[in-house]
Amino acid sequence: MVHDAVAVSAPGKVLLAGGYLVLDRAYTGLVFGLDARIHVVVEDIQTRNGVTLNEIVVNSPQFLGAVWEYGYRLTERDGGIKVTPLRVDADLNLNRNVFVETALSYALTYIATVSSPVISPASVTILADNDYYSTPADVANSSATPPRFHNFGVPISKAHKTGLGSSAALVTAFTGALLTYYFPKRILDLSTDSGLRKLHNLAQAAHCAAQGKVGSGFDVASAVYGSCLYRRFSPSILSHHVEPGKAKFASQLRDIVEETGETGSWDTEIRKDAVKVPKGLRLVMCDVSCGSQTPGMVKQVLAWRKEEPEEADPIWTELQQANESLATELKALAESAETALGYDRVRQCFTRIRQGIRSMSEKSGVPIEPPSQSELIDACEAVPGVIGGVVPGAGGYDAISLLIQDKDETVNQLRKLLADWEFKGEVDGEEGGGRVSMLGVREEMVGVRAEDPKAYGDYLP
Ligand SMILES: Nc1ncnc2c1ncn2[C@@H]1O[C@H](COP(=O)(O)OP(=O)(O)OP(=O)(O)O)[C@@H](O)[C@H]1O
Ligand SMILES: C[C@@](O)(CCOP(=O)(O)O)CC(=O)O
């Protein structure tokens, strides 16, 4: 059966407050969606000479060699749909995309279990807004308007990520697009609460499986729901099911998505009403393009917390209070008719959060807010119109976040500061200088949404 083409997009994220804490259900994270989106278009495969291939072809045309072809089959013993990469280089593991492959087998399994096990071939295209990756200097400095979807000219593995959560936005948009393509609206509709909830559960399951660990899931939650105050789900919900192709995978996945059977209901808490950005303010992200992600930061912080609870617990308590205060103050300002309230209280929340993060860094010995990032945030905070800044998420050398007044003067002064800034990254004790640039993103309240598939014409293969 031939279906109509569909397109779905999902936003990136920034965990403004609550890094590490949000891994524990006793605490929450303040997460903002960002208006850099990943778009996924699904259409019928164009066949030549009436030949129909039983394949799903996935393209990510902004990157070199980013084409993945999959065969798929319904397995016996309720094992769901198993997908198999069809290219030789995939056999050698040279060009696998584990997020795409996993999201595909999870989504097709759910679709086959709920409606028809006959899955028609399809062509899927992934398009990422430019800010997910650092723009090469020649493009950034050129006066020409960049294309909506830049061609990075390198394989995905070589593109420098800015840390906006590409894999979560990808898995969410990809899963949402497949569900919309194959299901009639009466079975699943992304404009309803129940449709969103099923997408959330399925995308979390696929994303965790692809990552090989059950993280807090704040990135998938904000890709689905947009900005929110997030309390994670109990990890046990996703830690007992078998892999695709193994007996009972299909029923286990259906229970997870539909909150039936032993899994029961998910205990995630998403509070959208708790997050607001006052009129006249906006978030900005400054990308530190020499950034190096210190592997194992999460492991090290958690190991220290386990070992030194009397040191860590007061920091967690203080940070949770500061994080909640930030959300409360922002909401109060946003809802107040009093324009002269001023930003002092919000500013104090940023100061408290940074203090908490610095003690977490010092006591755990993990560079969450390393000295070079402290220097950068201090300098940004001194620019008139900047309310406060933090190292978001896990911290380290990824992009920093600032809350600023949404005025041209503030943005221009910040750009000027950053243009001359030489960032000193402490990579394995060595110093490496790098550029800092302001990304074009700001907060986004809306999560996943349907798009017009015709809007991507020139970019589709
Ligand atoms: N445009 C894209 N096309 C195809 N696959 C993509 C694309 N962007 C991301 N991916 C997939 O997501 C992976 C990157 O995921 P990873 O979790 O390492 O980064 P991230 O989600 O951007 O990180 P962070 O959580 O630090 O923001 C890539 O290796 C690829 O599998
Ligand atoms: C450290 C942690 O709390 C946040 C990681 O955030 P990010 O990927 O650096 O944006 C981990 C998690 O929540 O899964």
pLDDT band at 433, cuts 50/70/90?
low
Give the number of the ligand closest to the Cα of residue 133. 1
pLDDT in tens, 300-340: 999 999 999 999 999 999 999 999 999 999 999 999 876 66
Give the number of the ligand closest to the Cα of residue 298. 2
- Same domain? For 248 and 318 the reply is no
Q: By three-state DSSP, how is residue 123 classified?
A: strand
Ligand 1 and 128: CB distance under 6 A? yes
C-alpha distance across the termini of the chain, in Å = 22
Ligand 1 and 3: CB distance under 6 A? no
pLDDT at res. 95: 83
Q: Please name the residue whose Cα sits nearest to atom 16 of ligand 1.
A: 167
Ligand 2 and 447: CB distance under 6 A? no
Distance of alpha carbon 181 from alpha carbon 123, whole angstroms: 11
Comparing CA positions, the residue from 125, 102, 106, 139 lying closest to residue 40 is 125
Q: Is residue 225 part of a domain?
A: yes
pLDDT band at 92, cuts 50/70/90?
low
Give the number of the ligand closest to the Cα of residue 164. 1
Strand partners for 41? 7, 125
Average pLDDT over every residue of 4-32: 98
Ligand 1 and 169: CB distance under 6 A? no
Q: Is residue 268 part of a domain?
A: yes
CATH number, residue 369: 3.30.70.890
CATH number, residue 76: 3.30.230.10
Atom of ligand 2 nearest to the CA of 298: 1
Asked if 110 and 257 count as a contact pair (C-beta separation under 8 A), the reply is: yes
Quote ipTM for the complex: 0.97
CA 19 to ligand 2 centroid distance, Å: 6
Average pLDDT over every residue of 181-194: 97
Pocket test for ligand 2, best of 132, 171, 216, 398 (most atoms within 8 A of CB): 216
How many structural domains is the chain composed of?
Answer: 2
Torsional class of 170: left (φ above 0), alpha (ψ -120 to 50), beta (otherwise): alpha
Rg (alpha carbons) of the chain, rounded to whole number: 22
CA 106 to ligand 1 centroid distance, Å: 18
Atom of ligand 1 nearest to the CA of 62: 1
Ligand 1 and 99: CB distance under 6 A? yes
Atom of ligand 2 nearest to the CA of 14: 10
Q: Is residue 52 part of a domain?
A: yes
pLDDT at res. 430: 46
pLDDT at res. 337: 74
Give the number of the ligand closest to the Cα of residue 215. 2
- Same domain? For 451 and 434 the reply is no
- Same domain? For 102 and 36 the reply is yes
Ligand 2 and 425: CB distance under 6 A? no
Q: Please name the residue whose Cα sits nearest to atom 15 of ligand 1.
A: 167
Distance of alpha carbon 391 from alpha carbon 402, whole angstroms: 9
Ligand 1 and 163: CB distance under 6 A? yes
- Same domain? For 23 and 56 the reply is yes
> Is the pLDDT confidence value at 426 over 70?
no
Query: Which residue segment(s) compose the domain that 306 sits in?
Result: 281-442
- Same domain? For 263 and 349 the reply is no
pLDDT band at 110, cuts 50/70/90?
very high
Q: Is residue 1 part of a domain?
A: no
- Same domain? For 97 and 235 the reply is yes
Ligand 2 and 15: CB distance under 6 A? yes
CA 175 to ligand 2 centroid distance, Å: 22
Parallel, antiparallel or unpaired: strands 430-434 and 423-427: antiparallel
